[in-house]
Amino acid sequence: MTGRTHDERLHDRKFVRTFFTSPTAVEGEDESAKMIRSASGLRGMQAPDVWVPDNEDATAPSMRDEGAENIVEVLAENGAEFPGEVHPRVVWHRDSPATRYQGFQHMLEIADPENGAVEHLDGFVIPEVGGIDDWKKADEFFTIVEEAHGLDEGSLAMSVIIESGAAELAMGELREEMGKPTNNLERLFMLVDGEVDYTKDMRAITPTGNLPPWPELRHNTSRGASAAGLIAVDGPYDDIRDVEGYRERMTDNQAKGMLGIWSLTPGQVVEANRSPLPPEDGSWLLDDGTQQVELDEQGDTQVYGGDRLSLAESGDSYVLAVGGDEQELDEDGLREELLDRAEYVPSMDDIVDSMEEFEAAREAGTGAIAMERSATLAIDGVEVDISNDRMWDEATYQAAMTPVSLFQDVYENRPDQHDDLAEMYGESVVNRAIDVGT
Amino acid sequence: MTGRTHDERLHDRKFVRTFFTSPTAVEGEDESAKMIRSASGLRGMQAPDVWVPDNEDATAPSMRDEGAENIVEVLAENGAEFPGEVHPRVVWHRDSPATRYQGFQHMLEIADPENGAVEHLDGFVIPEVGGIDDWKKADEFFTIVEEAHGLDEGSLAMSVIIESGAAELAMGELREEMGKPTNNLERLFMLVDGEVDYTKDMRAITPTGNLPPWPELRHNTSRGASAAGLIAVDGPYDDIRDVEGYRERMTDNQAKGMLGIWSLTPGQVVEANRSPLPPEDGSWLLDDGTQQVELDEQGDTQVYGGDRLSLAESGDSYVLAVGGDEQELDEDGLREELLDRAEYVPSMDDIVDSMEEFEAAREAGTGAIAMERSATLAIDGVEVDISNDRMWDEATYQAAMTPVSLFQDVYENRPDQHDDLAEMYGESVVNRAIDVGT
Amino acid sequence: MTGRTHDERLHDRKFVRTFFTSPTAVEGEDESAKMIRSASGLRGMQAPDVWVPDNEDATAPSMRDEGAENIVEVLAENGAEFPGEVHPRVVWHRDSPATRYQGFQHMLEIADPENGAVEHLDGFVIPEVGGIDDWKKADEFFTIVEEAHGLDEGSLAMSVIIESGAAELAMGELREEMGKPTNNLERLFMLVDGEVDYTKDMRAITPTGNLPPWPELRHNTSRGASAAGLIAVDGPYDDIRDVEGYRERMTDNQAKGMLGIWSLTPGQVVEANRSPLPPEDGSWLLDDGTQQVELDEQGDTQVYGGDRLSLAESGDSYVLAVGGDEQELDEDGLREELLDRAEYVPSMDDIVDSMEEFEAAREAGTGAIAMERSATLAIDGVEVDISNDRMWDEATYQAAMTPVSLFQDVYENRPDQHDDLAEMYGESVVNRAIDVGT
């Protein structure tokens, strides 16, 4: 966690899947550090890429001095073995010098080498930032802390919570500000959306009190991360019971380039560590006119089990009904229609196959090749063979590389997850995925 | 309407629900001021938070000098009694110095103390602004008008219509520009979207000629308002007959933090004054797989009346069908499933209850409490009890405060609506809502 | 293609519907220039508004020097007769000085008057730009090329591909940067989204590997074009077989003000040249609760042929069922309900009619008039007459002008399409459309 390289993203981790917060001091317990002591013991898929002992909102204001001490104590004891990075959240507010001063004091204490925690500390998370000048104030405090404790300038990473319109706008200025000799903003690492406070700051209202989806905020955070070599992370998903909803949110985020998400429980950590990794098995989807339905693989056949689509054969022709609308088609017409409705979700194995195939073609001097994908679909017992060609060129290859690069980053930085990955994908796929594209 | 305070939002009104425009001079009438004279008599829920005698698009170019005179005349007569703020719209265009000069002359005339209208005047609305330098030109004219007439610098509020891509971009610079000693942009008050001209400026085309929804513009306007302490207002909704569509647009806007909207008729004013206020009665919604259906309260039971969901009991188990897809569930499974599909829309009374409960817990040293909400649902005669816990912490409390703060702002500034509010909510709820959170 | 005027958009073309790329040099063919030689022969609806001999991604790296020579050769031969503008894409990358230097050399060669191509050359397309300083580097190379070859400063247009978060942000600064005396950024012409590389740069992942829809990027590109007097063009639509999907994408783009799109084949060029032009015939749409269904004109009646809506008459009342939900209505209620569900898509003829009518009314001193649109709808054999009034004022008129201005721009600049346009609309409609609003 030292020795930063200077490639595009400056930090050790090029991807962060999980941002897991724990209260630093809980009142009324035998031991107030109970929660973070427990979290420090997480390993494997339950352990986050980034662990955030949360000395802000998750911890009562009266307990925060004790919280800072607890962070020091637990990190000094267990930090060496913790498999993820550690970025405590301290207090900060764009509108309150008192809060900022308190956050500065906590940073000074936690990073003090005499306390024995700093060698296991990767940075701090700063909440409630405003415009870019407010970010610079926080950066300056990092620099002062580093100076005071003889640490290398820029060695502590800074991440921020985007929870105001002003902070959202500031993300558009990072690229320009980060190079200036008057700051050390190159220490920036994660841009993390905080939708509860953002909703308050934007004064938004929904009838049920649920959070608005804020698609533009998430786009702008992802874009800000892209333009400045940072990592975009979405905020907490409050309904812990709703695993399906959490997964849908992550799929939506991933299509925006936001590959990380806040986790509130080890169960959410497991879900979020797995979500951006390609699936173990490929699957076919069929569009029934209202949604994409996953087909059921039975032997060599992909079976549709819903009731919106129906298909009947009569002599040389077919009748396909979609939600009651019938059309009569010949065999080619039917194949064409089903091809339009079908899509394949490739497995990790499939992705590595395609990339290796493209690499071989490229080496042989070919710039674009067709990747074929075939299947036998069955609807109401009628079987239809379909086959789809997709052109792959250099750009397709590069875009397909994203989940593989993420996998490689995980593999390199999280040896504690090697067993889980081997169990998911098999050793052979893992080994090929590590090598491809490098 | 004098004596601005200097808290976060600098103006008397922290919220504006309604922005009602009236033509200032109508040709061919006995009295050309007829429309604004009539509007100046509006009271209660029919009276807008902001009234805009419109000396731009609503008034024929040839009538605008007379329109400026009419504004003076009507304000001098009826301004003292008008319950909302008054912000006439004058002419302006980023591309036409002649238009800008005409707007300046009208402002000079309307604000002239000798004409007796200025003491009832809160500011002006400037349409068709371009980049930030164009906004500064308008601001400078306000300053000159104030200087010429011995008014305090910054005492006239400036609001703008966002109806060009350039103006949309300028909203990102306000926070930085507003503090500079070379302008008085702190006078800025409302950012108002003007989608008809924006559509023209963006050169957008829709098959029917309807306006595009422009979700990004509305987000950016709301964000600009948030970052600079201003108030975001949506543009006109042309289809006056379509009350349901107007309501849906407002609900959509509110989820973006845009709590105000243009109104073209007193009927729209009534709708828009009520829309962001919490409902009188709470209600349950049930997701039928395609939409959320409001349940019908019959005694203590919430009855589902649609036909997409069906439920049957057989011995110890239940069969729930959603649009034809059946699943068999035990009692706990059914409860879980329905809990996932059900949501509660709290009333003003409910919101105040929850806030008071949280305040009491916080005073007793508890940072987070569970709020329980129970109901008996009935589908096809089968009754199921469900109960939902939601965690409230400081952030939840703060976010829930937005509609209550809006209510308090209305209550303080619109005594003419006290009777309507008491009739809606009852005196007791009104009195508790005024006190909570302050 | 010389003599730029200085109105709002500085270039000859105020609209670009089609951006058609061709590989400049294909390995293993008898003649490596085969593809661009063939493209240079396109005429009429198959010929794009902008043709882009693509010396970047469509051409293998090893073939690009030959590609530059091919461009020169084909342009010198066939450029004079080509009906669209010609903007070759050269190589460029924000992160690679070697790539930028190669692009500069290709520009120098292609624009060299001794090679005989420059008089048929309108500009160059620069891919992979980053922040605004990177755009300025490219602009400076244009200036040097112009200087070296004795061309007027600014005479070569510059277009860019937006395929990074940094470039997306740079579009917000154009308006301010374009006026500065230290650059010639007024040469900017098209802003073209490149979603494949953008997806890679944003590190987005989708389960199927399909491109995300990126609505915010397209909005921001359109806004950037609007604020700086440029032209917004969407990226390639890979699934060439999917004509319906291509059309839907264009309709979605047009509602964002993005009226141009990349075309990969002459077939896509035909589709994209026609898409933003108003239809030959008007049509009625009816909302069936899930989508808008086009009605079938049979004589004077608009017949609904779907099965979600059903209508029955019984005595004085009607029963209308929408997806199973029945309501009983009297004749006025039914008319109201159907009026809410019906919308008209006007033809070019209809649009010109309405504009002429408004112009006449305006000349007679009327600022707003009601345009009536009537139809007889038939559902399950029951006929209902509906009639819709829409108010037209100056703003409506201006917004309706967009497709007509596009038509006029096409008519002026593409004489090779006159026959196609006359065949589509009839001579008389074409002649009226040329004159209206000018």
Which position has the higher pLDDT, C51 or C325?
C51
Is the model's pLDDT at C243 over the cut of 60?
yes
Instruction: With a threshold of 0.90, tell me whether the complex ipTM lies above it.
Output: yes
Rounded mean pLDDT, C215-242 = 95
| Residue of chain B whose alpha carbon sits nearest to that of C170 | B169
Q: Please tell me which of A357-361, A387-391, B328-332, C144-148 the model is most confident about, judged by mean pLDDT.
A: C144-148
Q: What share of chain C is helix, strand, coil (3-state, %, to 5)?
A: 45, 20, 35
Rounded mean pLDDT, C376-397 = 90
- Active-site residue identified among B330, B340, B393, B435: B393
Is the model's pLDDT at A3 over the cut of 70?
no
Digit-coded pLDDT (tens) for B162-178 = 999 999 999 999 999 99
Is the model's pLDDT at A314 over the cut of 90?
no
Residue B7's pLDDT is: 33
Is the model's pLDDT at B6 over the cut of 60?
no
Alpha-carbon gap: C223 to the closest alpha carbon of chain B (Å): 5
**Which residue among A219, A227, A402 sits closest to C203, beta carbon to beta carbon?**
A402
Q: What is the mean pLDDT of chain A?
A: 93
Surface-to-core class of residue C150, CB atoms within 10 Å of its CB (0-12 exposed, 13-18 middle, 19+ buried): exposed
Surface-to-core class of residue B86, CB atoms within 10 Å of its CB (0-12 exposed, 13-18 middle, 19+ buried): buried
Cα separation, B412 vs B408, whole angstroms: 6
Rounded mean pLDDT, A96-119 = 97
By the 8 A CB rule, do A32 and A66 touch? Answer: yes
What is the tally of helices (H) and strands (E) in chain A? 15, 18
CA of residue A277 relative to chain centroid, distance: 10
C301-303 and C296-298 strand pairing: antiparallel
Residue C380's pLDDT is: 94
Residue A165's pLDDT is: 97
Digit-coded pLDDT (tens) for B285-338 = 999 887 889 999 999 999 998 888 999 998 889 999 887 778 899 999 999 999
Q: Which residues of chain B approach chain A closer than 8 Å at the C-beta?
A: 172, 175-176, 215-216, 219-220, 222-227, 251, 254-257, 259, 276, 279, 285, 324-325, 340, 343-346, 365, 367, 391, 393-396, 398-403, 406
Residue C1's pLDDT is: 34
Is the model's pLDDT at A106 over the cut of 50?
yes
> pLDDT class for C7, splitting at 50, 70, 90?
very low
pTM: 0.95
Alpha-carbon gap: C197 to the closest alpha carbon of chain A (Å): 6
Digit-coded pLDDT (tens) for A206-216 = 999 999 999 99
Digit-coded pLDDT (tens) for B246-263 = 999 999 999 999 999 999
For A312, phi then psi, to 5°, come to -135, 145
A18-23 and B296-298 strand pairing: unpaired
- At C415, is the secondary structure helix, strand, or coil? helix
Beta bridge partners of residue B322, listed in sequence order: B309, B325
Rounded mean pLDDT, A403-415 = 97
Is the model's pLDDT at C127 over the cut of 90?
yes
Digit-coded pLDDT (tens) for C98-126 = 999 999 999 999 999 999 999 999 999 99
**Which residue among C166, C203, C306 sits closest to A257, beta carbon to beta carbon?**
C203
Digit-coded pLDDT (tens) for B378-388 = 999 999 999 98
Digit-coded pLDDT (tens) for C162-197 = 999 999 999 999 999 998 999 999 999 999 999 999
Surface-to-core class of residue B159, CB atoms within 10 Å of its CB (0-12 exposed, 13-18 middle, 19+ buried): buried
Residue A9's pLDDT is: 53
Is the model's pLDDT at A7 over the cut of 50?
no
Is the model's pLDDT at A162 over the cut of 70?
yes
Residue C347's pLDDT is: 96
Q: Which residues of chain A make contact with C242, given a CB cutoff of 8 A?
A: 340
Partner-chain contact C209 A399, CB within 8 Å: yes
Q: What is the b/e burial string over B46-67, where b = at least 16 CB atoms within 10 angstroms of the residue's CB? A: bbbbbbbbbbbbbbbeebbebb
**Which residue among C227, C256, C343 sits closest to B212, beta carbon to beta carbon?**
C256
Q: What is the mean pLDDT of chain C?
A: 93
Digit-coded pLDDT (tens) for B222-232 = 999 999 999 99
Digit-coded pLDDT (tens) for B297-307 = 999 999 998 88
Rounded mean pLDDT, A79-101 = 97
Written in H, E and C, the secondary structure of C38-61 is HHCCCCHHHCCCEEEEECCCCCCH
> pLDDT class for B396, splitting at 50, 70, 90?
confident
Rounded mean pLDDT, C212-220 = 98
> pLDDT class for A388, splitting at 50, 70, 90?
confident
Tokens of A354: 């395609």
Rounded mean pLDDT, A97-102 = 98
- At B113, is the secondary structure helix, strand, or coil? helix
> pLDDT class for A97, splitting at 50, 70, 90?
very high
Q: What is the mean pLDDT of chain B?
A: 93
> pLDDT class for B160, splitting at 50, 70, 90?
very high
CA atoms within 13 A on the CB side of A426: 9
What percentage of chain C has pLDDT greater than the value 70?
A: 97
Q: Which residues of chain A approach chain C closer than 8 Å at the C-beta?
A: 172, 175-176, 215-216, 219-220, 222-227, 251, 254-257, 259, 276, 279, 285, 324-325, 340, 343-346, 365, 367, 391, 393-396, 398-403, 406
Digit-coded pLDDT (tens) for C285-326 = 999 887 889 999 999 999 998 888 999 998 889 999 887 778
Rounded mean pLDDT, C141-165 = 97
Is the model's pLDDT at A365 over the cut of 80?
no
CA distances from residue C175 to B140, B177, B195, B223 in whole angstroms, order as listed:
22, 17, 21, 21
Cα separation, C226 vs C211, whole angstroms: 25
How many C-beta atoms surround the C-beta of residue C299 within 10 A?
A: 8
Residue A5's pLDDT is: 31
**Which residue among A60, A203, A307 sits closest to B324, beta carbon to beta carbon?**
A307
By the 8 A CB rule, do C346 and C375 touch? Answer: no
Cβ-Cβ contacts under 8 Å between A and C: the total is 90
Q: Residue type for B292, please?
A: Q
Cα separation, B23 vs B322, whole angstroms: 52
Rounded mean pLDDT, B26-32 = 86
Partner-chain contact A399 C238, CB within 8 Å: no
Is the model's pLDDT at A10 over the cut of 70?
no
Cα separation, C157 vs C2, whole angstroms: 11
